[in-house]
Amino acid sequence: MKKLYGLTTAMLTPFTEDGGVDYESFREMTDFYVDRGVHCLYPMGTNGEMFRMNAEERMRAAETVKKQSAGRCTVYIHCGAVSEEETISLVRHAESIGADGAGVVTPTFFGLTEEEKLTYYTHVSQSVPFSFPIYLYSIPSLANNDLPLSTVEKIAKQCPNVTGIKYSGPDMMLLMDYLTVRNSSFSVLPGFEKLMLPALACGADGAISGVSSAFPEPFVALYQAFKAGELAEAQRLSMICSIYIRAMRFGCSHAFLKAVLRERGLKSGYVRKPGMELSPSEADSLRDLLKTLPSWK
């Protein structure tokens, strides 16, 4: 089983101006990240506007990224959907195309009991061979349903192919608790990039970053410095990453991140409605901002 590790980039989805998926730009984007040393790719997640896409589009996008990556990096496909039926269909598809694994966000909007969450992940886990790894994805601020430690422990005990968790929350104490699951063999990656260095220091495998969809380089450099035992350099890079995170609006605007990629010479496409592009004045401010960012080298 290939686990997520290092810098995992939560990929954006490039759309055409009329709202279609721009698969050619998806291929270019895949090469862009691979060429910059990203360790793992994670398309079709929050950064990928997954709930603005239908299942057929998501499957074709997954196929595009997997084929274009051509074994050059690990590829996990985010497969969480509103219904259990669609989630299972997407997970089975990810397994069938040879993806290295899948991420599955908690069901959204409607509140669930612990038993309902456990049953959901058990059904998803059992829908594919146990050799196919699945990461839980907890983002309480958007999905409504969080994953307390007790629930994650029960899921890990009942689902042998649930390999780890992406935790997109600010609670470092909870993240450290996740690291104790399954006798400390559970893979944990923060979705809040600011926690990358402290999480690595506590035993996390890396970070899954939306901000790195615009600037992967400083995050790759941070991971490399940490793995090389260069703590002072890792601390310096962590501070630089924090500047980029603030500048990129904490990764909370698809339009902003895509505009940054366009300024970097990449065909990043448009956001899908009801999302809106930056105004001309916002685009001008963005260009000015990019001139102020420090080098990570």
Q: What is the pLDDT of residues 239-279, one digit of tens each?
A: 999 999 999 998 889 999 999 999 999 999 999 999 999 99
Angle at the Cα of 290 from the Cα atoms of 222 and 31, rounded to 5 degrees: 60
CATH of the domain at 10: 3.20.20.70
What order of strands is seen across the sheet that includes strand 187-190? 187-190, 162-167, 134-138, 101-105, 74-78, 40-42, 6-10, 206-209
The verdict on residue 206 lying in a domain is yes
Q: What is the pLDDT of residues 47-84, one digit of tens each?
A: 999 999 999 999 999 999 999 999 999 999 999 999 99
Count of domains observed in the chain: 1
Average confidence (pLDDT) over 88-113: 97
Let me know: does 21 contact 13? Beta carbons within 8 Å.
Answer: yes
Q: What is the pTM of this model?
A: 0.96
Range of the domain at 255: 6-290
Average confidence (pLDDT) over 120-135: 98
The verdict on residue 124 lying in a domain is yes
What is the pLDDT at residue 91? 98
Question: What is the Cβ-side half-sphere exposure of residue 235, based on CA atoms within 13 angstroms?
Answer: 3
**d(Cα 207, Cα 222) in Å, to the nearest integer?**
11
Angle at the Cα of 36 from the Cα atoms of 35 and 38, rounded to 5 degrees: 100
The verdict on residue 296 lying in a domain is no
